């Protein structure tokens, strides 16, 4: 959104309105300026809309969307997965989970019932009104997604799932012994998106 303010001659100049029309075509909402005393001392169009009116316009705009997902169930995945090498080591990535968590909160704010399948993240636990299922590995996320996917209307897959995992996992910490370097064989993880796409209904979005 934009709330332009300028002197009357500038406001009524054709180039100003060409640019405003271009902004509107790009999806920008224009909050029209008011009529009154201007910074130049003149009196006319171009005065910035009063702040309380701008706030009212913003509030009305966003309130329209707050119930848009009422009655819908939404599944959101977020964060990384950790693929164990041994009890203390893993393969992982730097995903923070912020995007998926923000999506889950926004869906909840719009009235949806939200299930958040969350990988290991170090973020404040502020998920009021959201069902959170914590997982660690790609297999756990795969299973959790399939457990709940059939019951939701929308799925937003924002997690950074590992593409590979160790072929075998040691049940004890691998010790550093002499000059030998252990070899790590990797295998592909299950493709969660592909597997969910195979069972997706036509009335479901993801």
Q: Residues 43-81: pLDDT tens digits?
A: 899 999 999 989 888 877 777 667 888 899 999 999 999
Say which residues have a Cβ less than 8 Å from residue 15's Cβ, sequence separation at least 6. none
60 is catalytic: no
pTM above 0.85, yes or no: no
More confident residue, 42 or 145: 145
Q: Residues 156-196: pLDDT tens digits?
A: 999 999 999 999 999 999 888 777 788 899 999 999 999 99
pLDDT above 90: residue 154: yes
User: What domains does the chain contain, in order, with CATH numbers?
Assistant: 8-63 (no CATH), 73-197 (3.40.50.10300)
119 φ, ψ (degrees, to nearest 5): -75, 180
Looking at residue 68, its pLDDT comes to 84
Q: Residues 92-139: pLDDT tens digits?
A: 999 999 999 999 999 998 889 999 999 999 876 777 789 999 999 999
- In the set 19, 21, 53, 93, the catalytic residue is 93
């Amino acid at each position: 959104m934009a709330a332009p303010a300028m002197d009357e001659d500038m406001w009524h100049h054709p180039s100003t309105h060409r640019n405003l029309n271009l902004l509107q075509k790009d999806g920008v909402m224009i909050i029209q300026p008011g009529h009154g005393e201007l910074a130049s001392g003149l009196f006319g169009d171009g005065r910035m809309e009063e702040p309380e009116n701008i706030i009212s316009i913003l509030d009305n705009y966003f309130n329209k969307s707050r119930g848009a997902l009422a009655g819908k169930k939404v599944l959101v995945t977020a964060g990384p997965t950790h693929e164990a090498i041994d009890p203390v080591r893993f393969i992982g990535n730097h995903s923070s989970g912020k995007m998926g968590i923000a999506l889950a909160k926004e869906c909840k704010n719009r009235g949806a019932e939200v299930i958040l399948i969350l990988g290991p993240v170090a973020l404040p636990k502020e998920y009021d009104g959201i069902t959170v299922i914590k997982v660690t590995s790609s297999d756990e996320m795969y299973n959790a997604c399939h457990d709940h996917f059939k019951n939701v209307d929308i799925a937003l897959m924002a997690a950074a799932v590992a593409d590979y995992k160790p072929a075998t996992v040691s049940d004890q910490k691998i010790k550093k012994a002499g000059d030998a370097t252990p070899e790590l064989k990797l295998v592909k993880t299950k493709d969660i998106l592909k597997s969910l796409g195979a069972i997706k209904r036509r009335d479901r979005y993801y």
